[in-house]
Amino acid sequence: MRKSAGPALVLLLVLLVTATTPSCQKKPPVAPGFAPPGAPATGASEARVTLFGTLDLGLRFLEPETRARYIREVAGQDEDPFRPTDPGVEEPFLVFLFTIENRGQSPVLISPSFGAMVDRKGRMNLPPFDAREIQELMAAVPAFTPELGRRFHDATVNVNPGQRMSRLLVFPALPRKVEMVEVVFPSLMSGNLSADAHFPFTVTWTPISAF
C-alpha cells in the first residue's frame, strides 16, 4: 500500500480551482492522448479482458466530453467537477470507467486501489486515488455530489455470481511528458483462483508547460 500523497493532491486541487497566467489563458485545456493498441486516435478508448473464463472486465478512458456526458446521465448533474475552471490549465485527472461482469459460480474480490498505470520500462507505477484521497477531493470541490461519490470504487469490491457493476477510477495527471503502456489490477480472486488483469493502453501525457 502506498504512502499518503497529501502534497500531490493539494497541488492537483490548486490546478483545478485556481486561475492561470495570462499567457496560458489563450490555450484550451490539454487532454492526454489515450488509445488501446491498434485503435485509431479518434476511436473508443476502451480495452477489455476476460479472466477465469467467466469474469469480463472493461476499462474505458473518459475523455472530457464523454466524462461530462457520463456525469449528466448517471449522476444527474450538469457541472463536471473534474474539468479545469480556467482555460489553459491542463486536465488534472485521468478518469476511467471500470466495468465488471461475473458470469461464474464464485464471488470475485477486486481491490482497485492496488491497481497501477505502468510505463514502458516498468519503472513508473502510478496508482489511482484511494478512498481517503477521493473523500478529500470531494470535500474540496463542491461540485462533487453524493450521487457522483457513490460511483467511485471502494477499497475492495465484491462481485457476486451473475452481478454486473461499474466504478470510477481517478489517476492524478502526470507532471511531465511520459508514455504509459498499460493499466494493471493485481491479484483478482475468484474462489481459490488468482490472476492479474492487464489492460494494454498507450497514454501519452504532455503537460501544457512543455509547449
pLDDT (tens digit per residue) in 149-159:
888 877 788 99
pLDDT of residue 35: 55
Residue 12: inside a domain: no
Q: What is the CA radius of gyration of the chain?
A: 17
Distance separating alpha carbons of residues 138 and 63, to the nearest angstrom? 20
Cα torsion through 18, 66, 59, 93, rounded to 10: -10
Judged on CB neighbours under 10 Å (0-12, 13-18, 19+), 184 is: middle
Adjacency order of strands within the sheet including 93-102: 46-51, 55-61, 93-102, 164-172
Contact by Cβ (8 Å): 186, 114: yes
Residue 111: inside a domain: yes
pLDDT of residue 181: 78
Residue 76 backbone zone (phi > 0: left; psi -120 to 50: alpha; other: beta): left
Residue 26: inside a domain: no
42 confidence band (pLDDT: 50, 70, 90): very low
For 74-118, the pLDDT digits (tens) are: 888 888 888 877 766 677 788 889 999 999 999 999 988 888 888
Residue 202: inside a domain: yes
Residue 8: inside a domain: no
Residue 55: inside a domain: yes
Host domain of residue 172: 31-210
Question: Mapping DSSP to helix (H, G, I), strand (E, B) and coil, where does residue 157 land?
Answer: strand
pLDDT of residue 182: 85
Residue 3: inside a domain: no
Number of domains, the chain: 1
Q: Looking at per-residue confidence, does 186 or 201 come out higher? A: 186
Q: What is the average pLDDT value for the chain, to the nearest integer?
A: 75
pLDDT of residue 36: 54
Indicate the DSSP class of residue 111. -
Question: Mapping DSSP to helix (H, G, I), strand (E, B) and coil, where does residue 131 land?
Answer: helix
Residue 13: inside a domain: no
For 3-20, the pLDDT digits (tens) are: 444 544 544 444 444 433
% of the chain at pLDDT higher than 90: 18
169 has which bridge partners? 96
